[in-house]
Structure 1
Amino acid sequence: MLNQHQLERIKNGNGFIAALDQSGGSTPKALAGYGISEDEYSTKDEMFDLVHQMRTRIITSPAFDPKHILGAILFEQTMDREIEGKYTADYLAEEKDVVPFLKVDKGLDEESNGVQLMKPIPDLDDLLKRANDRHIFGTKMRSVIKEANSEGIKAVVDQQFEIGKQIISAGLVPIIEPEVDINSPEKEKCEEMLKAEIREHLDKLDENELVMLKLSIPTVANTYKELIEHPNVVRVVALSGGYSRDEANELLKKNDNLIASFSRALTQDLNVSQTDEEFNTSLQKAVESIYEASV
């Protein structure tokens, strides 16, 4: 059964969703951005310990507050770890009133028909059960679209909604993320095709089957207006997709009721060597600017 307080916050709250879900493949890059190079750890365990310290520092910072931040997307490892003696999702919900989400995909397949589908998620049922045990509200999974190929785009959306329904059945809200590559020469055309495909799937959902969408900021402002207003859509959030924070914020501001779910754009100015005061000030600045762009 969905937590109604959390549903209300995500559906109608002012703010944005922090993406803290870099996985095994993208963690070295996230750590490097934070000032920790690959020669400072020798095992995967050490790497994950370091990234958990980074995320703990972000989440426990006074700048990470519910006035600006509605939710946070976690990596599986983060869900299973603790912050100040509580599982991460419980810490977020109880100490911060921030709604916890979990990244469930296992990364991307090779490109085919101008898209990258998700790799199979063989243990998804077990993972969703653990997510419920850990008081997770929703999930996130990413595919990528690079070309305006109707067969490829249809395959992406079909796969997203098929797995999305499995997630809904487990009592969670899926964030469906078919990212359009911001460097695609056909980005605008991809977005029009993607919108039509998503709309078709949304219209087939029962009234109690709720989803969220995480999309690239569209080339034409308010392209996704009809998706944002769809009764089965809790919220539409935007990824930064490789834009700098300033660029992403400026583009986001042009879109009504589209809110941020930024990852790198949120953490780009944070560094392991900063004092707590410097760190909190940098994070506060990022949080406030992304919040302004979202509201």
Structure 2
Amino acid sequence: MSDKLEEMLNVAAAMVSPGRGILAIDESTGTIKKRLDSVNVESTEDNRRGYRQMLLTAENLGEHISGAILFDETLRQSTDGGVLFTQVMQDADVIPGIKVDKGAHPLAGFEGEKITEGLDGLRERLEEYYELGARFAKWRAVITIDEFLPSQTCIDANCHALARYAALCQEAGLVPMVEPEVLMDGDHDIETALQVTELTLKTLFNNLYEQDVILEACILKTSMVVSGSDCAEQANVDEVAEATLDCLLNSVPASLAGIVFLSGGQSEVEATEHLDAMNKIGNLPWPLSFSYGRALQASALKVWGANPKDNVQAGQAELLHRSRMNGLAAQGEYSTDLEEH
């Protein structure tokens, strides 16, 4: 076994180690502006750095956070004291990750659908990111459900791009996190979400196989199977857990290193409850954990944003609480009674 492959296998295993998950703070400049606008903080480079410093310097962050996905800007930044964020993370036993796609753009010829771009020049970017300290990467594709969507063309194009990205990651020594997000926007029921998610995942793993991606050194970041946000009948926690596990067991090879979920618009507690319910069912071939953005950050952002200078520790306390709740959920040991803090 090559040293590079051995490192990737170790990183992938650590990313989904028991009771730990991934903090997603890879918002693009446009998206982080919306987040900061929501708490009346101007989106300057220093304010973005300050917010992410608050998150990454939380004491004992590595207890329930195994890695964090960064944006290009953040990977290059340092603390107020001049310590690189990547060094802060390594000292806390948190693996640095990096978002490498260039965003979702309209899929030519297919109105209402998107294709994620960013393969051009990716090999060189990955080499640089490895040198900067990143040890895993993330690429997100979006699949929209509508009356006549998604098309097979959209699913095929995005899954092919995810597989090409994953192969390039492993060539560079980075663990690929492949993220095909089936959006919860719409009035579709949970059965429709199940069918679309299963088709997407089967297509993805066919492409990963064709591109010779080593699944033992690969992480799937996927959406849970939930009712559309505008659906009149919302599936309950147990229904979401059962539908999601049915989907994964029917479409994801057992050799995959692990699965982490995105929160995709769920509330903080909802995302935790769903993850916990799946792990309570248990007896699965891969670890099931979390890679949440808003569902880990929302309360921390609100508290910090009220007074960025004085509320650093209070914001960190919110992040650490949510991390602990999801760490317990990743082991099927969560209860809403634990939310008091």
Tell me the TM-score range normalised by the shorter chain: 0.7 to 0.9
Q: Is the 8 A contact 1:9 1:70 kept in 2?
A: yes
Question: What's 2:134 paired with?
Answer: 136
Number of residue pairs aligned between Structure 1 and Structure 2 = 284
C-alpha distance in structure 2 between counterparts of 1:229 and 1:119, whole Å: 26
Q: Which of 1 and 2 has greater Rg? A: 2
Structure 2 match to 1:279:
315
- Which runs of structure 2 are paired with 1:90-239 in the superposition (5 Å)? 90-93=87-90, 95-111=91-107, 112=110, 115-147=113-145, 148-184=150-186, 185=188, 186-204=192-210, 206=212, 208=214, 210-219=217-226, 220-222=243-245, 223-225=247-249, 230-231=254-255, 233-239=256-262
CA 1:139–1:207: 2 relative to 1, 3 Å: closer
CA contact (8 A) 1:221 1:254 kept: no
Whether the 8 Å CA contact 2:99–2:139 is kept in 1: the answer is yes
CA distance in 2 between partners of 1:192 and 1:17 (Å): 23
**1:61-96 CA distance string (max 9 Å, x none):** 11x522211110000001111234332222211x10
CA distance in 1, matches of 2:83, 2:73: 14
**Match for residue 243 of structure 1?**
266
Q: Distance in 2 between matches of 1:175 and 1:52?
A: 24
Matched, 1:261 2:294: no
In structure 2, C-alpha distance between the alignment counterparts of 1:132 and 1:276, rounded to whole Å: 30
Q: Which of 241-250 and 81-90 deviates more?
A: 81-90
Q: What SS does the corresponding residue of 1:36 show, helix, strand or coil? A: coil
Question: How far does residue 106 in structure 1 lie from its aligned partner after superposition?
Answer: 1.0
Mapped partners of 1:103, 1:86: distance in 2 = 21
Q: Does structure 2 conserve the Cα–Cα contact (< 8 Å) formed by 1:87 and 1:134?
A: no
Residue 226 (structure 1) shift? 5.5
Matches of 1:164 and 1:178, distance apart in 2:
13
* Corresponding residue of 1:89: 86
Partner of residue 57, structure 1: 54
Q: SS state of the match for residue 182, structure 1? A: coil
Gaps spanning 5+ residues in structure 1: where? 42-46
Q: Give the SS at the match of 1:259.
A: strand
SS in 2 for 1:217: coil
Please report how far the alpha carbon of residue 199 of structure 1 lies from its aligned counterpart in structure 2 after TM superposition: 3.0
8 A Cα contact 2:221 2:260, kept in partner: yes
Find the aligned partners of 2:297 and 2:157 in 1 and give their Cα distance.
32
Q: What is the identity, as a one-letter code, of the residue corresponding to 2:268?
A: R
User: Structure 2 counterpart of 1:225, which letter?
Assistant: L
Alignment match, 2:229 = none
Bigger mean CA deviation after superposition, 146-155 or 274-283: 274-283
Structure 2-normalised TM-score? Answer: 0.76
Give aligned-pair identity as a percent: 24
- The Cα RMSD (Å) is 2.3
Contact between 2:16 and 2:66, CA under 8 Å: does it hold in 1? no
DSSP 3-state at the match of 1:261: strand
Cα distance, 1:246 vs structure 2: 1.1
Corresponding residue for 1:23? 28
Aligned-pair CA distance for 1:212: 1.2
What SS is found at the alignment partner of 2:158?
helix
Match of 1:44 in 2: none
- C-alpha separation in 2, matches of 1:115 and 1:254: 32
CA distance in 1, matches of 2:12, 2:118: 28
| Distance apart, 1:29 and its partner CA | 1.4
Structure 1 residues 242 and 164: alpha-carbon distance in aligned structure 2, compared to 1, 3 A threshold: same
Compute the TM-score of the two structures, normalised by the length of structure 1.
0.87
